[in-house]
Amino acid sequence: MHRWQADHEPCAPFVYFYGDDSVELRLQVMGHAPDSIAVVTWDKYRGEEPLFRGYLEPWAPTAEGWVFRIRVPVGTRRLSYRFCFQDKMQDRWLGSSGWSTTASGARPFELPYLFDEEKHSAPPWAQGAVIYQIFVDRFAREPDGGPEPTQPWGAVPNARDFQGGNLAGIMAHLDYLQRLGVDALCLTPIFLSPSNHRYDITDYYRIDPRAGDEAALQRLADEAHRRGIHLLLDGVFNHVGSEFAPFQDFLSKGEASSYANWFYPLSSQKGDQGPAYATFGFVSQMPKLATERPAVQRYFAEVVSHWMQVGPIDGWRLDVADEVAPSFWQAIRALTTALRPESVLIGEVWNDALRWLGPHAFHGVMNYLFRDATLALTKGEIGPERYVRYLGQVMGRYSVPALTTSWNLLGSHDTMRIATALEEDRERFELALALQMTWPGSPMIYYGDEIGLTGGAEPACRQAMIWEEKRQDRQRLALYQKWTHLRQAYPALRIGQWRLVAADPVYELLHFERFTTDQRIQVVLHTGNGTIETPIGGFTPGQRVVDLFSGHSATANVAGQLQLQLRGYQFALLSLER
């Protein structure tokens, strides 16, 4: 009986094909791991003459054990391979037929042929980018000749009243956003709608006059691009508003309507039981689209094409993305890539998103799993070991481009604000922000979090931005700016690899590295109360080490260690002094 348990299949999430014609092979090892795990690869048309032999490295801890990984070249686009588990007692080979004590006894795993269309990739600008989400009606208002708001700026938010935020207001604050250090803006929907959130769209070809017009959008895109800031729109393609003309035609004519197959009639849901059609959730004002139907796909392909050429727009955040037909997203991905190869698609998926990630759909997702884990850690509901295993499960399943392009958020227009969620505890907030800015992925800032806006569940989290500096938390704003500037200065924090050093439940210590070929940054976080003192190693004796965040420096002792003291919820960002 062999001593190891491992899982691998020749497909995602165990195999990813990348743009440099390499394949990443991953192996889930449960429980006890061997001394080493090797992989041997060859081309089946050349016998079993080895093309590559290398050793897998531990990548991500999971609830079951560890995910190991290795990148291997595939020059011929064909790959056969086996894994060899090695320790002092005996080698064991793992292939598609299971375990064997000999290589020949383990039938190889096969990748018969790898096609370009299978490559996992993401635009370089989007990997590790700092994203800023704007709820358009509440960010800023500038005079533009549009309708007057129905509520004064700063009124208690509700679902229907407008406070007048518009595209001109966003453009007027681009300098502020540039100083904040954001790489991309994501706007909530801007198209004609009866509500201030505009997720119940009436006309996809018309910008809501309260927000602006096509000329305003083009000016905003041009001015943002001039500052090096990308612009993304919110694509609401799962459902429409009940005032959408094709839906009104369907309501009045029923099956005789030329749009009848755009929607899902539900004859069993009539009268007091609800609307006689499928909806988003149970919201009658948001009828669900039949996105698998060709006519619906053609219509929205034209919508996407129109706005990407008007803007030009750099990508889309896609609403309720996991309730839309896979064929719809496949068509949209092909279209947006053809129109703008550097554009990005980000899906709103609140749970595991493996099914939706890759060349057939999204570059990344809104990483609500990161938010859930980080809130649980900073509130003391889980410890660092459970935290890394929870998020390690995500890391072990997503491709590297998908992981680095997904948005690590602490709050959004659909959630309680981070300050409120942490009961305005400053130390816990700073720890959560440190994790957001150092964990693999793209940190997403929800407008106003950087100046201390508070608010509970929607619509309370959608209050008006405060622009009077005396009412802003300027210390918090400076903290965000410091983090974004550090990410700009140190690529290791944006796109560097990740390695766990320690997740100590006793000392409540989380320690990991972010590194590139020429940078290595150690992130050390105390996730509990009190003060701890711990040695941090891995340095050369006598090396000067600087905390990039505090600016303090120290010299490694003869054992290559620093003695680090951390207060409750304090962190350090250690790098060799330049």
- The two three-digit tokens of residue 404, written as one number: 């680095």
**Host H or E run for residue 521:** strand 520-526
Q: Which residues of 303-328 are buried (b: 16+ CB within 10 A; e: fewer)?
A: bbeebbeebbbbbbbbbbbbebbeeb
Length of the chain: 578
Pick the catalytic residue: 348, 430, 508, 513?
348
| Beta carbons of 193 and 92 less than 8 angstroms apart | no
Residue keyed to tokens 């949209």: 332
| Beta carbons of 410 and 436 less than 8 angstroms apart | yes
Task: Assess whether 117 carries a catalytic annotation.
Answer: no
- The two three-digit tokens of residue 496, written as one number: 């560097």
Pick the catalytic residue: 213, 234, 319, 430?
319
- The two three-digit tokens of residue 221, written as one number: 């895109």
Listed in sequence order, the residues at least 6 apart from 344 whose beta carbon sits closer than 8 Å to its beta carbon are: 122, 123, 126, 232, 314, 315, 316, 363, 364, 405
| Beta carbons of 131 and 153 less than 8 angstroms apart | no
- The two three-digit tokens of residue 104, written as one number: 């020949």
| Beta carbons of 436 and 407 less than 8 angstroms apart | no
Distance (Å, whole) CA 9 – CA 22? 17
Neighbours of 11 (CB within 10 A): 10
| 252: three-class secondary structure by DSSP | helix
Neighbours of 54 (CB within 10 A): 15
Neighbours of 553 (CB within 10 A): 13
Neighbours of 216 (CB within 10 A): 20
- The two three-digit tokens of residue 245, written as one number: 């003309």
The β-bridge relationship of strands 230-235 and 52-55 is: unpaired
Strand partners, 55: 38
Task: Assess whether 272 carries a catalytic annotation.
Answer: no
Distance (Å, whole) CA 404 – CA 419? 25
| 237: three-class secondary structure by DSSP | coil
- The two three-digit tokens of residue 172, written as one number: 């007027």
Listed in sequence order, the residues at least 6 apart from 46 whose beta carbon sits closer than 8 Å to its beta carbon are: none
Active site residues: 319, 348
